[in-house]
Amino acid sequence: MHNLFNKLLYIVIIYIASQMNVYAVQEFVIEDIRVEGLQRITPGTVFNYLPMKVGDTFDDQRSAEAVKALFKTGFFKDIRLERDGGILVIILEERPSIGSITLSGNEDIRSEDLIDSLRQIGFAEGRAFDRSQLEKLEQELRRQYNSLGKYAVKIESTVTELDNNRVAVAIDVSEGVAAKIQKINIVGNTVFKEKKLLKLFKSTTPTLFSFFTKDDQYSRQKLTADIESLRSFYLNNGYINFNVDSSQVSITPDKKGIYITINITEGELFTVSEVNLTGKLILPEDDIFNLISVRGGDIFARRQLTSSSNAISTLLGNDGYAFANVNAIPEINDEDNTVAITFFVDPGKRAYVRRIQFSGNTRTRDEILRREMRQQEGGWFATEKVDRGRIRLQRLGFFGEVNVETPAVAGTTDQVDVNYTVEETPSGNLSLGLGFSQTGGLVFQTSVTQNNFLGSGKRISFSFNNSEINRRFGFSYTNPYYTMDGVSRSLSAFYQETNSVSANVTAFDNTLWGGSVGFSVPITEYNTFHTSLAYENTEIAVGLGSAQEVLDFIAENGNQYNILRWSNSLSFDTRNRTVLPDKGALHRITAEIALPTLGNSLEYYKISYKTQWFTSIYEDYIFSLKGNVGYGDSYGDTEGGLPFFENFYAGGPKSVRGYEENTLGPTDSLGRPLGGNLRLVAGAEVILPVPFFREVKSVRIAGFFDAGNVYNLKKEDFDVAELRYSVGLSGIWVSPFGLLSASIAQPIADQEDDQIQNFQFTFGTSF
């Protein structure tokens, strides 16, 4: 039996060998090459990929190489090599080309983005169709939808044959609903309650606002960020050996629910035993050590190490060491649960600035940006000056976004370039108003303001207002760099006729014309002194609707005045932007006095103080305080106190929201708002991150508390009980069409005769 098996095996081997000899390629010298079967691809393309040419010897190896090279192109689905005498015949069957790609049902992933990504992998119209690529595409689509929490997604691809060896590929996506997080469990926590830890997460179980925020939808990226937030929390609270052991994500059978379990090991609480400085300390050690916020005995906190290192780097950067490297190295002692921290300082070489360059300013002249710089070319690099230049560009109001980079100059070790990138926004403002009221008739208002006229940085404004109540023409011009030292000059002229019988103030007719000139002088980087002199010719007319207070003032002082107004102000401003700031403070005190002039003049003075303050309280939450105090009175030959048309007013969007504009405070004998000579207004805001627009700087919402009122100290004493309050929610949008603001407010401690206006809205249009 065994011998029989060996004989059969021998016969099989002989047969296989004979067949291999039959099918072996017979060697020959290639005299010519002929390509058959091509429809779309040119013969030249085939020859480019073919690893042989006329004159070569064709054999088994060359045959295998040719077939492999042509298949590798992906253009062909069948390849045969034949011999016709001395001619090598290559018979090809092309893959069909993709005639069209259509997608349907995809909402979360844009078709344009998907088609662009397909084109990068060679799956595009006009390319050879490869079903394996289509299968990879389906897998990638499922992966992307899974990362968005949509595990029930269904993807069906249909390939339809077209003429000319083409196919149409249709991909139909049924996204399904995103799986919602049903439960998040943290296992292993003993120091902190799970409820507190889950507040660190952006992923949550369904809440009332999840419909808008989508925070109950699972995504791998969001969970990774949440785990990192958890890790940072523990490291910032002394648990240096904290570890995330594992995280499991399980899906319910219907693929609509997600359960997340995170297993952690907290470790022991560590404190700081000592803090040391080492390295090349080119600055006084005490100056550097004062910037370190961690001390011996403190609970270890990683954020303190990071902030201290950044502060030291900034200090060195301000002294020219642009490439300073500061590392906080913790030395852990597990025996007594302490950490010794050593800050290693490597200042590197002192660097100077080669060039300061700007990009993105298509309208604004380069010199307008360059004059705002505090860092100079050729000088030692200073981080503080570079950043101050960025803030000054932001404060111009011409740019929506300003970024700065300081790359090292190639081939050097002590030079940097400072590159500012700006994003220009409309610097003009066109405000239009058209309406009709029974009291005011047809109303048309317009003002045109160009803050960056022809890219020169100069400000020009024209205004026109025409109604039965008010008619005004105005012009103003400001050159912010009247001198090279940054002294600005402003000029203005105006003419106004007012019939306030139906306005929201005491009734009188007024004709006013005049002009002004003013100068602003920078004293320091943050302090500015402003002075202006204005002439106003004012004529008051009264009628049957005028209050007794107006009649008494005219009886004592006449009805036509030459007013020479001298105003001076001193401001301290560290805000990072003039529009929608979120950091810094503003303090401004202003004093103006009406000087005695020839003819009938009025003599009075007004003093006011305005303040704003912004600070970050938690992540993207900003706390703001504001205040405005004003007082005025007459002096000299003018009797009766502050002229009634110079009174302070309160109420409305710019003071105490929730009350109709200008209606707070004293009223005249006919019950209309009269204003007063003392105004107190204050407020607090919590600026909230805007859902879906966290990175957009032109949108802001805030919860606010306003307080204030106006008093006439000539007739009454100041009474805190008379203050009015309101709380509410406000929104501001610096839109392409102008500044849009709205507020919803609920008055507090309002009186029966107060004029309430819960919703207030203002709008302007930009061009």
Residue 539 belongs to a domain with what CATH number? 2.40.160.50
In 3-state terms, what secondary structure has residue 405?
strand
The residue among 62 and 687 whose pLDDT is bigger is 687
Query: Would you say residue 18 has pLDDT above 50?
Result: no
Distance in angstroms (rounded) separating the CA atoms of residues 57 and 610: 94
Q: Do 222 and 87 share a structural domain?
A: no
Distance in angstroms (rounded) separating the CA atoms of residues 278 and 284: 12
Residue 634 burial (10 A CB sphere; 0-12, 13-18, 19+): buried
> Tokens 């008093």 sit at which residue?
711
CB atoms within 10 A of CB 691: 12
Query: 40-49 burial by CB neighbour count: b if 16+ within 10 A, else e?
Result: ebeeeebeee
Radius of gyration of the chain (CA): 39
**Phi–psi pair at 387, nearest 5 degrees:** -70, -35
CB atoms within 10 A of CB 389: 21
Is 493 part of any domain?
A: no
Q: Do 205 and 145 share a structural domain?
A: no
Q: Do 61 and 192 share a structural domain?
A: no
Mean pLDDT, rounded, for 240-261:
89
Amino acid symbol at 98: I
Is 491 part of any domain?
A: no
Is 462 part of any domain?
A: no
Model confidence at 445, in pLDDT bands (50, 70, 90)? low
Q: What is the reported pLDDT for 117?
A: 67
Q: Do 691 and 599 share a structural domain?
A: yes
Q: What is the reported pLDDT for 440?
A: 37
Query: Would you say residue 698 has pLDDT above 70?
Result: yes
Q: What is the reported pLDDT for 647?
A: 93
Summarised one tens digit per residue, pLDDT across range 308-366 is: 999 999 999 998 998 899 999 999 999 999 999 999 999 989 999 999 999 988 888 89
Residue 494: both structure tokens together: 């105006």
The residue among 655 and 44 whose pLDDT is bigger is 655
Query: Would you say residue 200 has pLDDT above 60?
Result: yes
Q: Do 404 and 540 share a structural domain?
A: no
Alpha helix (H) ranges present in 194-334? 194-198, 210-213, 220-235, 285-289, 302-318
Summarised one tens digit per residue, pLDDT across range 537-550 is: 999 888 777 888 88
Summarised one tens digit per residue, pLDDT across range 92-141 is: 887 888 888 888 887 777 777 777 767 766 677 777 777 777 787 788 78
Q: Do 149 and 286 share a structural domain?
A: no
Nearest to 257 by CA among 182, 336, 145: 182
User: Which residues are CB-contacts of 607 (< 8 A; sequence separation ≥ 6)?
Assistant: 589, 590, 591, 630, 631, 632
Distance in angstroms (rounded) separating the CA atoms of residues 403 and 390: 7
Is 494 part of any domain?
A: no
CB atoms within 10 A of CB 184: 20
Distance in angstroms (rounded) separating the CA atoms of residues 396 and 84: 81
Is 455 part of any domain?
A: no
DSSP for 57-118, please give it.
EE-HHHHHHHHHHHHHTT-EEEEEEEEETTEEEEEEEEPPEEEEEEEES--SS-HHHHHHHH
Mean pLDDT, rounded, for 246-251:
89
State which residues form the domain around 104. 97-174
- 510, 495 contact by CB (below 8 A): no
**Residue 280, domain CATH:** 3.10.20.310
Q: Do 215 and 333 share a structural domain?
A: no
Is 709 part of any domain?
A: yes
Nearest to 79 by CA among 88, 89, 91, 97: 91
Q: Do 187 and 53 share a structural domain?
A: no
Q: What residues form DSSP beta bridges with 380?
A: 352
User: Which residues are CB-contacts of 110 (< 8 A; sequence separation ≥ 6)?
Assistant: none
Residue where a domain stops, chosen among 47, 76, 94: 94
Residue 371: both structure tokens together: 């004059």
The residue among 444 and 512 whose pLDDT is bigger is 512
Distance in angstroms (rounded) separating the CA atoms of residues 302 and 325: 17
Rounded to the nearest angstrom, the gap between the alpha carbon of residue 549 and the centroid of all alpha carbons in its chain is: 51
Model confidence at 23, in pLDDT bands (50, 70, 90)? very low
- 579, 740 contact by CB (below 8 A): no
Kindly report the pTM of this predicted structure. Answer: 0.66
Q: Do 759 and 620 share a structural domain?
A: yes
Is 71 part of any domain?
A: yes
Residue 644 is given by DSSP the state: G
- Number of domains the chain is built from: 6
Distance in angstroms (rounded) separating the CA atoms of residues 11 and 3: 13
Q: Do 741 and 676 share a structural domain?
A: yes
- 269, 299 contact by CB (below 8 A): yes
Query: Would you say residue 293 has pLDDT above 80?
Result: yes
470-479 vs 459-466, strand pairing mode: antiparallel
In 3-state terms, what secondary structure has residue 371?
coil
Q: Do 245 and 361 share a structural domain?
A: no
Q: Do 605 and 554 share a structural domain?
A: yes
Residue where a domain stops, chosen among 265, 281, 311: 265
Mean pLDDT, rounded, for 507-524:
92
Is 465 part of any domain?
A: no
Residue where a domain stops, chosen among 61, 78, 94: 94
